[in-house]
Structure 1
């Protein structure tokens, strides 16, 4: 018989139920722990013999009391946008960086990026602020400000050394994501971009649960046109459908390049639109030109076709107003 993945809780329940309050554990979580905040905590087969079983099973099963605190903290954030991808390496964090800078070109817009890629944070490097640290005050954690109107929060700012590995299981990741939402002093923002790791796992479920009350405006799904990427992006789109997350658009990346000599555009792949079936034409394909990028002192510099990102923000703004 072929092995099967342990699935102690139906996917509908995982997406619908908010995380409960984390109990005080008496021992480290075992390898196959469903998570002490899970509705199956203390009940799943993998809980048998765990020293925490009684603690988890008797913990309050009601909604997480921090959810209203998150909603209060984010009440002055106008738009919350998730940036998702099915596969890693498709340029999702690069896309988030460019989108944030494009929004921030309007001096009247306040923009924030929350980096939820706990094990592989890259936003600070792309923003040129990887050596910064978080300032903590009585009112909460302060984002690291790249510009007067563009702030970033990432686990990278909390690491003693930039090359330190973050070796955490899901529950600990969930706890930090909650802190990013509950304890960071985001202030008045026009756009909060949530950069996520690839896939459809703990980080995505946590963000969806924590923001369910305050509301998510939608998600931009980033892909490359190769079939191996499209295979995974279809799963990401299915996740959004099941989680009730509106798809603002599908962004195709790395379908071409701009010649650094003649500045001519060469497009060698154009297949991302094949990901949509005829019944799924409500999805919008966000068009943006390939950009020639260089690294200068840690800053990600757009050297050509800046009009492309301006066009992208206009498309998203139009979608958000609908």
Structure 2
């Protein structure tokens, strides 16, 4: 039987596909390639180009493949974009999840792992690791679209022979430890990727938004999780469901926060290059401190992260960014007839 990965050509999705294949799983991918890349999908996976909002395509996939479980990663994820274009987020993240769930139930597929987010919590009331029992107070359509999807999962599980694990990601960063894939999205907003691009001269500088937060150095503190550990949490969730485990929601983070300036220091150290830094006022909605309490994932899923070190995360991210720059230079040379 196969695992269907929606959004399997994206950043996290491409890592997920490689991890499943490494574990000997049969993998099917569906992706519309709006932000993902066909080359990022491991060649051993069966690929379908299209939107999970297309019920006919889902029916085809389920008819042509014996799907055991779905790892649902397809989503729009840029917070400012969700504010300026909320209906597209409710369509892609919430409406299309409803279509996927409907098709899965119709096909008799009873296991799903869902990509959720720490954005469901909004701004934590206190500067301490946030638990899954914290109030859900999303401050933008992106976070709200994920809350609505979680509610659909809950209600579907109550009504059908269906179980799920919703993993609430904190700040995902880094790249595949074997160098096979990484964060390749153009105009990405992730701090570590932005800083690595600046270190390589692909950006003129890095902007720090707010230096007056109630944190040790005045900049925002976040919980950065290596993508390899995040993918491993999904593997643990899959085994949990295979064992007959109950539906659950769990945070994915390390419980250790790093400030913006600490991240920039790490990138400068790893790259051996000074960063040009611009300072600006706080952005609306940015919290001072967002760190995960991931006790549930560790205790109920048996998840044991192995890469909880900021420099190690940055090293893989920088290596991938350097490869992207080298590949781009090679392609330019080829087009110019230089090679």
Scaled by the length of structure 2, what TM-score is found?
0.33
TM-score (norm 1): 0.34
Answer 1 or 2: which has greater helix percent: 2
